Amino acid sequence: MERSNREYTVGAVEDFMPQIGRVVNAGEVELAIFRTSAGAFYAIKNHSPHPKGGPLAEGIVSGYYLYDPLHDWKIDLRTGEVQAPDQGQAEVYPAAVDGGVVKVTLPAAVARL
């Protein structure tokens, strides 16, 4: 059984429009990838931590915050933490730009899902 983390190349930098999320399926995991206006990339599981769920990719991005498109929860893209008055945690994964391509690392447990 594979034990190590798994790195996925999710696309070229220019495949992602600033402040507009994009859905990428990495293995079995549906990710929402965001490129902020400052050029940073974030990867988050495309599933809202709100009890009613729903996607995240279509939310409004402001700095490194994301406003959940269905419930308007404010989520910190760096940590996945939901901001007050709401509470919860979205799953975030490390994303990085490397030679013009965007890479996301999923921990072994998730990559094998």
Partner 1 sequence: MAAEREKLVLIGNGMAGVGTIEQILKLGGAYDITVFGSEPHPNYNRIMLSYVLEGSKTIEDIILNDLGWYEDNHITLHTGTTVTRIAEQNKLILTDNGLAVPYDKAIISTGSNSFILPVPGSTKDGVVGFRDIADCDAMLAAAKQYRTAAVIGGGLLGLEAAKGLVNLGMDVTVVHLLEDLMERQLDRTASSMLQAELTRQGVKFAMGKQTVELTGEERVTGLRFSDGSELPAEFVVMAVGIKPNVQLAKDSGITVNRGIVVDDYMQTSMTDVYSVGECTEHRGTCYGLVAPLFEQGMVLAKHLSGVQTPGYEGSVVATKLKISGVDVFSAGEFTETPEHTVISAKDEWKRTYKKILLKDNVIVGAVLFGDVTESANLQKLVKNSTEMTNEIYDEVMGTSCCGGGGAKKGMSVEAMADEEIVCGCNGVTKKAIVDAVTENGFTTVDEIKACTGATRSCGGCKPVVEQILQFVLGDSFQQSAKQGICSCTPLSRDEIVAEITAKGLKTTKEVMHVLDWKQAEGCSKCRPAVNYYLGMIYPDTHEDEKESRFVNERMSANIQKDGTYTVIPRMYGGVTTPEDLKRIADVSLKYDVKVVKVTGGQRLDLIGVKKEDVPKVWEELDMPSGYGYAKSLRTVKTCVGSQFCRFGTQDSMGMGAMLERKYERLDMPAKFKMAVNGCPRNCAESCTKDIGIVGNDGGWEVFIGGNGGIKPRIADAFCKVKTDEELVEVCSAVIQYYRETGNYLERTSEWVERMGLEHIQTVIMGSDDNRKELAARIDFALAQVSDPWKKMLDDKNTRTALFEQTQV
Is 29 exposed, middle or buried, given 0-12, 13-18 or 19+ CB atoms closer than 10 A? buried
Judged by CB under 8 A, does residue 74 bind partner 1? Answer: yes
Judged by CB under 8 A, does residue 94 bind partner 1? Answer: no
Closer Cβ to partner 1, 70 or 110, answer by number: 70
Which of 5, 13, 55, 81: binder of partner 1 (CB under 8 A)? Answer: 55
Judged by CB under 8 A, does residue 80 bind partner 1? Answer: no
H or E segment to which residue 41 belongs: strand 41-45
Min dist. Cβ of residue 55 to partner 1 (A) = 4
Closer Cβ to partner 1, 60 or 97, answer by number: 60
Is 103 exposed, middle or buried, given 0-12, 13-18 or 19+ CB atoms closer than 10 A? middle
Closer Cβ to partner 1, 87 or 108, answer by number: 87
Which residue type, as a one-letter code, is found at position 99?
G
The first and second tokens of residue 59, run together, are 């939310």
